[in-house]
Amino acid sequence: MDIPPTPRLPGGPFTLVEAQALGLSRDKLRSREFAGVSRNLYRPASWDFELRDAGRALCAATPGAWISHTTAARLHRLILPPWMSESNELHLSKSRKLPGTRRRGIVGHTVVALSDEVEYIDELRISTRPRTWLDLARTLRLDELVCMGDQLIRIPRPEFEGRSNPFATLEQLRAMVDRHKNLQGIVRAREALELMRVGADSGPETLMRLAMLNAGLPEPELQLKLWEGPNVPSADAGYRARRIALQYDGAHHYDAAQRHSDKRRDKAFRAAGWTVLVFTDKDLANEFQDAVLLIKKALRTSWVDPAIASGFASSC
């Protein structure tokens, strides 16, 4: 007599419908091999939590819902403050036309969202990056929201990231904000839009720029090239008229090859008569207070190129 094959067990969370399709009986689901997560939702007892798998199963078990808010931000790898970046909290949104989500351990939201604000990524229904930014306007501080916004609008490097277009433009974000005038956090979103700039390659670079603006310093130029052309040394920020280059060297700059590249970059600026100020994680930790003082001193003592300045000196 032929023995029926053992059903192939799921590696992550799964719905009751998926279990039945695999031939798993309810008695089998009640065994020690599995654990109930929520209504009609199960997981292998040995499963180690994985956010994407949990999100996929939740969407499959909750018709009309999509992953949103902090959960979407983590899956999209958006910049989040430390207290949110490791959160395994699960956020699920639904249209206001549908009944709210009531599941154990799930933060449910009922929202107004247009069709182009939700997308499918590998069977996962999830809010788009721009919509996720807008949803978090209620939760994030203004500077944190600007960091995430700068990440969305930055111009990517195709050779490293496999894409040439930003995740969003300022115009697209403004249009989305205008659609949702009554959303909680909309005022903060509008404030963030006015502070966002194309050119920041990391959250700390944005925070450094915001600290400079809060201290009354002139707006710096971002991704400032030493001269025009390909493969040219560039500064994260700076003042061309004052020949001041500002660099933020984070943790990845500790790599030996990167350190060598950084030294060559800074040497090129100094050889051209520029002042180079390099800031690190220590400056981030004290919210760039010391960095601002150094930049102010450099501005006071630097030479102004009259061909470029056109009134710059009077603004310092």
Q: Per residue in 234-291, pLDDT tens?
A: 999 999 999 999 999 886 656 767 788 889 999 999 999 999 999 999 999 999 999 9
- For residue 99, the model assigns a pLDDT of 67
SS3 238: strand
* 173 vs 303, residue with greater confidence: 173
**77 in the Ramachandran plot: left (φ > 0), alpha (ψ -120 to 50) or beta?**
left
**To which residue do tokens 């997560």 refer?**
37
The angle subtended at Cα 111 by Cα 107 and Cα 117, nearest 5°, is: 105
Tell me if residue 278 falls in helix, strand or coil. Answer: strand
Q: Tokens 């111009």 label which residue?
A: 155
Return d(Cα 257, Cα 254) in angstroms, integer: 9
Q: What are the domain boundaries of the chain?
A: 14-131, 200-316
Q: Could you give the C-alpha distances from 225 to 112, 236, 246, in angstroms and in order?
A: 43, 9, 12
Instruction: Determine how many CB atoms are found less than 10 A away from the CB of residue 260.
Output: 10
Provide DSSP, 296-314: HHHHHHSPP-HHHHTTTGG
User: 23 CB contacts (<8 Å, ≥6 apart)?
Assistant: 7
Structure tokens at 42: 């199960």
Is residue 179 scored above 70 in pLDDT?
yes
Q: What's the token pair of residue 236? A: 């994260």
What spatial distance separates the first Cα and last Cα of the chain, rounded to whole Å? 90
> Cα separation of 69 and 49, whole Å?
19
Q: What one-character-per-residue DSSP string does 170-199 give?
A: HHHHHHHHHHTTTSTTHHHHHHHHHH--TT
Q: 200-316: which CATH topology?
A: Endonuclease; Chain A (3.40.960)
The answer to which of 88-92, 124-128, 153-157, 306-310 has the lowest mean pLDDT is 306-310
> Mean pLDDT of all residues in the chain?
87
| Cα angle for residues 131, 135, 139 (degrees, 5° grid) | 150
Please report the pLDDT score of residue 3 as a whole number: 45
Is residue 34 predicted with pLDDT exceeding 90? no
pLDDT of residue 130: 98
CA 77 to mean position of chain CA atoms: 5
| Bridge partner list, 246 | 237, 277
Does the pLDDT of residue 226 top 50, yes or no?
yes
Residues 311 and 305: their CA atoms lie apart, in Å, by 11
Q: Are strands 275-279 and 106-111 parallel, antiparallel or unpaired?
A: unpaired
Q: Dihedrals φ, ψ of 217, to 5°? A: -75, 155
pLDDT above 50 for 183: yes
Q: What is the distance between the alpha carbons of residues 137 and 307, in angstroms, rounded to a whole number?
A: 42
- The pLDDT score that the predictor gives to residue 79 is 96
Cβ proximity of 149 and 86 under 8 Å? no
Say whether pLDDT at 6 is over 80: no
Nearest to 151 by CA among 192, 209, 198: 198
